[in-house]
Structure 1
Amino acid sequence: MNWGIIGTGNMGKVLLHSLTTSHAVEEENLYLYNRTLMKAYELLNQYPNVHVERSLTNMANKCDVLLLCAKPKEILEISKKLQPHIKKEQLVISITSSISTDHLDQILPCKTARMIPSITNQSLTGATLLTFGKRTNTMDQQMIKQTCKLFSNPVEVNDDNVRAASDIVSCGPAFLSYVLEDMIQSVEQETSLKREEAVNFVETMVIGFGRLLEERHFSLETLREKVMVKGGITGVGMEALEKEIHNSFNQVFKNTHQKFSAEKEMVEALTLEAKMNFSG
């Protein structure tokens, strides 16, 4: 089975690395396309056996599964260009939350799915969020799940929860990186600890923290309780966090959902326009 990645930006590269490193898809069975072709060709230095194609038509003709790794508006444009060349037995997968399988179903005649990856997949861990289109059958769904299991923990989500789940799974690493970077900057400002030392300590702490959760030694709640002795130094520090950070993520999720709603309105309008053009 041949897989194609259309769009070799950040997440396209993550999927390329995850699929090949886990041997979910061998390099010889992977095809790449990018609007700026040189960016795709540059990846041959690291993945010498993948194929780079010069057109979307070639991608449609050679791939059984196509991953659309682009912004919402671009995914719709790509779908319209693919439409005359796609056969009903092929599978097209969007990696963007605001592009639902229903949107793809209205433009494309084939099977569709949505697979939202995370940068954590690059280390063959973390989650992938899956939604299946109405034309996929049980075998299609199992194939996608089994492929994703080789580099992640696949979780099926519906349209109502896809944005909230994506905020945690896909955006979460960026949010946590910001909080940790703020910790590093603050310790620089308030103590004599040098930045290089602080970065090393934070990175080591986060790796150990993740391992404690992975090995089920603690839950988030019990880990905090274990570290925070009543009346101790950690408790005093926690008081400051409760004042400054508590509920701050409420606004984060409000912002992401507002952006999501705006993107969905744009996608709905463009999908309707594309559907009318095809029917006309």
Structure 2
Amino acid sequence: MKVGFIGTGSMGGLLIDAFLSSGALAPGEVLAANRSQDRLLQLQKRHPGISICSNGETAAKSDILFICVKPLQFKQLTDEIATYLRSDQIVVSITSPVQLYHLESALPSKIAKVIPSITHCVNSGTSLCIFGSRLHNKDRLLLLQLLSFIGVPEEIPESHTRIASDFSSCGPAFLSYFLERWIEAAVESTGIDEALISRLAGEMLLGTGKLLTEGSFTPQELQERVAVRGGITAEALNHLRSSLEGVFERLITTTHGKYDEDVEKLDELFGHHSGIAQSPLDR
């Protein structure tokens, strides 16, 4: 099986690294194309045996083709590669605002959307899977099996792409920001070694994730278990509740607003008068 990647930047390169390091793919099965030749040469140096190709060659030779470019670059790219693709190939977008109907109207292939996560670097986290109408069950199973090497694939409806991505894909950045500010305050207030407190925070986050995924705890149950009534944790939780009032609602409004804006721009580029991916916030 040949798996191609057009776009080997931050997330495209991460996927290639993860698939190869996990054993999901061998270097000889990977085709890569990118606007920057230097980036491709660095990738080939890291993984001897992968094939560096043009966009058209990558499209033509791939059984599964991952498109890993920015949203507004999709139309130009699909125009370029459409004639190289066949109906038996699977084309996967990793860009959330690009809708299935955009690609199914522009390409002859089977279409899927997969939203990966930086956590795949350590073979963890969830990859969100949205499958187009042309995929057969064997195609779904093929993609799910491939993605299972680098994390936990989860099939979702396309209407939930944005809110699910807030957690699986954006979540590491949001939680890292929270920890960064907390660590900065701890170092400034107490003088504790930053490397030490950062390790403690990382291990805490890892253990908390396991409690939520393997320990049958809900977030509320975890709070109740740790925060003894009248104790230090309970007092601090009360402070957090009042300080963060409305923050998460505004966060969701912000991510959905940017997503809807990008979908509208893509609708214009692909010649669609109105999108079907209406935000739940607008219903």
Question: What pairs with 1:1-280 in structure 2 (closer than 5 Å)?
Answer: 1-53=1-53, 55-216=54-215, 218-272=217-271
Q: In the alignment, residue 15 of structure 2 is paired with which amino acid?
A: L
Contact 1:94/1:114 (8 A) holds in 2: yes
Alignment gaps of 5+ in structure 2? 273-283
How much identity, in percent, do the aligned residues show?
Answer: 32
Per-residue deviation, 1:61: 2.3
Q: In the alignment, residue 161 of structure 1 is paired with which amino acid?
A: H
Q: In the alignment, residue 152 of structure 2 is paired with which amino acid?
A: N
Give the TM-score normalised by the residue count of structure 2.
0.91
Equivalent residues, number: 272
Per-residue deviation, 1:195: 2.5
Q: Deviations over 1:107-147 (max 9, x none)?
A: 11111110110111121111111111111111111111111
Q: Deviations over 1:56-77 (max 9, x none)?
A: 1111222111100111111222
Alignment gaps of 5+ in structure 1? 274-280
Q: In the alignment, residue 88 of structure 1 is paired with which amino acid?
A: S
Instruction: Specify the SS of the correspondent of 2:236.
Output: helix
Contact 1:145/1:154 (8 A) holds in 2: yes
Contact 2:6/2:34 (8 A) holds in 1: yes
In structure 1, C-alpha distance between the alignment counterparts of 2:166 and 2:144, rounded to whole Å: 21
In structure 1, C-alpha distance between the alignment counterparts of 2:143 and 2:238, rounded to whole Å: 45
Instruction: Specify the SS of the correspondent of 2:25.
Output: coil
Per-residue deviation, 1:200: 2.5
Give the TM-score normalised by the residue count of structure 1.
0.92
Contact 1:105/1:112 (8 A) holds in 2: yes
Q: Deviations over 1:218-272 (max 9, x none)?
A: 3322222111111111111112111112331111110111101110000001011
In structure 1, C-alpha distance between the alignment counterparts of 2:150 and 2:105, rounded to whole Å: 30
Instruction: Specify the SS of the correspondent of 2:269.
Output: helix
Contact 1:60/1:82 (8 A) holds in 2: yes
Q: In the alignment, residue 5 of structure 1 is paired with which amino acid?
A: F
Q: Deviations over 1:18-74 (max 9, x none)?
A: 211222222110011111111011012221121111x11111222111100111111
Instruction: Specify the SS of the correspondent of 1:160.
Output: helix
Per-residue deviation, 1:214: 4.0
Contact 1:69/1:75 (8 A) holds in 2: no
Contact 2:28/2:49 (8 A) holds in 1: yes
Instruction: Specify the SS of the correspondent of 1:161.
Output: helix
The CA RMSD measured in Å over matched residues stands at: 1.5
In structure 2, C-alpha distance between the alignment counterparts of 1:80 and 1:225, rounded to whole Å: 55
* Higher mean C-alpha deviation, range 248-257 or range 11-20: 11-20
In structure 1, C-alpha distance between the alignment counterparts of 2:164 and 2:193, rounded to whole Å: 36
Per-residue deviation, 1:217: 5.7
